[in-house]
Amino acid sequence: MMAEERHRGLGRGLSALIGEAPAAIAKDAAQPKGVRTVPVAFLRPNRFQPRKTFAAEDLQDLSNSIREKGVLLPILVRPVAGEANIFEIVAGERRWRAAQMAQLHDVPVVVREMSDSESLELAIIENVQRADLNSVEEAGAYQELIDRFGYTQDRMAQEVGKSRSHIANTLRLLKLPDSVKAMVRDGRLTAGHARTLVGLADAEERARAIVEGGLNVRQAEQRSAKKTKPAVHHEKDADTKALESSLTNMLGLKVQIADHGEKGGELRIAYKTLEQLDDLIRRLNRPV
């Protein structure tokens, strides 16, 4: 029963663990029940944080807002075993970083006891639900849920509120070369662009072409669908050419011998009218 309640809480996100999230916690407002204030120096980043990049511009915008209005949503933390007054962030690392930039000394937190696995699950689900991850980080988060906790794609879809097809398509991005995944992380390639490159041997080259050419997803799909191998033309030997000429004269129709080799080849006879075709069929049906 406890496991069922915990998973229902994880699926609902942060508000399920801190009570319904307060609409705002202004600098001088009384703290809601269950929320306490601790120095920013008492907090540590989450070891299992699925988010690897924090855009400087976004952090600065959030820092400016925090400087003016304070931290509006408390940071979810858990105690660090063996260290008094030290807490590990479960959800809210971006707010913590921005608060430091804003030179706040204290931040509101909600403290919850939870295991490593619970911390990882919630950190992943919270980030995905808030769309705080780029597509490659999101894919890595889904893969962590599969590898560490045996999640199925159906269960992930239910927990994070995404379609199963979205989960499957996002996971495919992990098959891309590291260089292409880096382009997705830094925003040069969208997830839609990247999906057109999955499974291609020259994915890195095509990714650069997409970026340099400013191609949209449709154009990228069209390029990926084209055959990449150039046509190979073999010079026909004199005997083959002579045979083609003899058959052309005999039939009065253009004859070509293609792909002739040790295993045989193809004989192609071109005609322009149905009368020519009928005449050819009659000649082939004559008794020998």
Q: What's residue 261's pLDDT? A: 64
Query: How many separate domains does the chain show?
Result: 3
Q: Do 222 and 258 share a domain, yes or no?
A: no
Which active-site residues does the annotation give?
93
Identify the helix (H) or strand (E) that includes residue 101. helix 93-101
Domain boundary among 133, 152, 186: 133
The answer to the question of residue 90 being in a domain is yes
User: 51 with 92, same domain?
Assistant: yes
Query: What pLDDT does residue 8 have?
Result: 41
User: Would you say residue 194 lies in a domain?
Assistant: yes
18 and 101 in a single domain? The answer is yes
Check whether residue 77 and residue 193 sit in a common domain.
no
139: in domain: no
Model pLDDT, residue 228: 46
pLDDT (tens, 9 = 90+) of the chain, 288 residues, equals 344 444 444 444 444 454 444 444 444 455 555 788 999 999 998 877 777 667 677 788 888 988 888 888 898 999 988 888 899 998 888 888 899 999 999 999 999 888 887 887 787 777 776 666 788 888 988 888 888 888 899 988 887 778 899 999 999 999 999 999 998 888 888 888 888 889 888 888 888 888 887 767 677 666 666 544 444 556 677 778 888 888 888 888 888 887 666 667 788 888 888 788 878 888 877 775
Last residue of a domain, one of 80, 103, 133: 133
Say whether both 70 and 114 belong to one domain: yes
Burial 26-61 (b: 16+ CB within 10 A, else e): eeeeeebeebeebebebbeebebbbbeeeeeeebee
Does residue 156 form part of some domain? no
- Give the pLDDT score at 19: 46
In a domain? residue 147: no
d(CA 202, CA 224): 10
> Do residue 128 and residue 243 come from a single domain?
no
Same domain, 249 and 196: no
| Cβ contact 42:86 at 8 Å | yes
168: in domain: no
Residue 162 belongs to a domain: no
pLDDT of residue 42: 94
- What is the domain extent for residue 264? 238-285
Q: Residue 108: what pLDDT?
A: 92
Q: Is residue 150 part of a domain?
A: no
Question: Residue 70 has which token pair?
Answer: 């304070």
- Final residue in a domain of this structure, among 133, 150, 167: 133
Residues 23 and 106 in one domain: yes
According to the model, what pLDDT value does residue 106 have? 92
- In this structure, the answer to whether residues 225 and 244 fall within a common structural domain is no
- The DSSP line for 192-225 is HHHHTTTT-TTHHHHHHHHHHHT--HHHHHHHHH
Give CA–CA dist 54/123, Å, rounded: 15
Same structural domain, 113 and 195: no
Neighbours of 88 (CB within 10 A): 20
Taking the complete model, does pTM exceed 0.75, yes or no?
no
The verdict on 224 and 256 lying in the same domain is no
Same domain, 218 and 242: no
